[in-house]
Amino acid sequence: MASCAAMDSQPDRRPSQLLAAGVMALALGAGVLAWVLDRPPRPDLSGVLLDTQRALPSFSLARHDGGRMTRADLEGHWSLLFFGFTHCPDVCPTTLFTLREAMAQMEGERPQVILVSLDPMRDTPEILAAYVPYFHPTFIGLTGELPEVQELADGLGVAYAYVAGEDGDYSVDHTASLFLVDPQGRLAGLFHPPHDAERIARDMTEVMR
Ligand code: NI
């Protein structure tokens, strides 16, 4: 052992005692480190949770499965809101697939996942009914009159823009961020892209703990 050799070579006992104390401290440190590393790391939610929760504007939107959803319906559980549209070629399907994966990786209670259509002109409840449950049977699609949808989106600070196409068609540019609503019905956090199912599952488990 290196420490024994060092002790033997020292006629003066004080340095060897210091060395022994140092070795003990190192061993203790390694033990503590091993104990810390052995435990699953707690996710850092500082990039997700807002310092101050923000109240949502009141709304009443049509659900894809009939009926309506209001702000009061968000109370009592955690929700993840996503703003998009069914004609979306990439961001929406990719994000909804990622959310499906995240839900599959979670155990116990899961957040309510809600797609709010920014294209209510085309996204009727029937269109949403043929789209949203495909990703997950519990996901909810919401639509309504454009001003209503926009009031909710604007109240949450959702970035979006309508882009005219050449053939009279149009598309919707929109943020891929997920808006986390707490059981008091307040905006409590944001998940920014790129999204990772494992991270969302881990962070949501920690948030809902
Ligand atoms: Ni999209």
What residue ranges define each of the domains in the chain, with the CATH number in brackets? Answer: 2-208 (3.40.30.10)
Tell me the C-alpha distance between 55 and 74, whole Å.
Answer: 12
What phi, psi does 153 have (nearest 5°)?
-60, -45
Please tell me the predicted confidence (pLDDT) of residue 116.
Answer: 98
Work out the burial of residue 89: count CB atoms within 10 Å of its CB; fewer than 13 is exposed, 13-18 middle, 19 or more buried: exposed
Cα 189 to averaged position of ligand 1 atoms, centre (Å): 20
Distance 18 CA to ligand 1 centre (A): 64
Let me know: does 180 contact 189? Beta carbons within 8 Å.
yes
CA of 8 to the centre of ligand 1 (A): 72
Q: Judge whether 152 and 70 are in contact, CB under 8 Å.
A: no
Instruction: Compute the distance from residue 128 Cα to the ligand 1 centre, in Å.
Output: 13
Render pLDDT for 40-51 as a digit per residue (tens, 0 to 9).
667 788 789 999
Q: Is the peptide bond between 147 and the residue preceding it cis, with omega within 30 degrees of 0?
A: no
Exposure of 101 by Cβ count < 10 A (0-12 exposed, 13-18 middle, 19+ buried)?
middle
Question: What pTM was estimated for this model as a whole?
Answer: 0.80
CA of 87 to the centre of ligand 1 (A): 8
Residue range 69-89: mean pLDDT, rounded: 96
pLDDT in tens, 86-115: 999 999 999 999 999 999 999 999 999 999
**6 CB neighbour count, 10 Å cutoff:** 14
Q: Please, which residues have CB less than 5 A from ligand 1, an ion?
A: 84, 88, 91-92
State the CB neighbour count (10 A cutoff) for residue 187.
19
pLDDT tens column, 127-150 = 999 999 999 999 999 999 999 999
Residue 58 CA to ligand 1 center (angstroms) comes to: 24
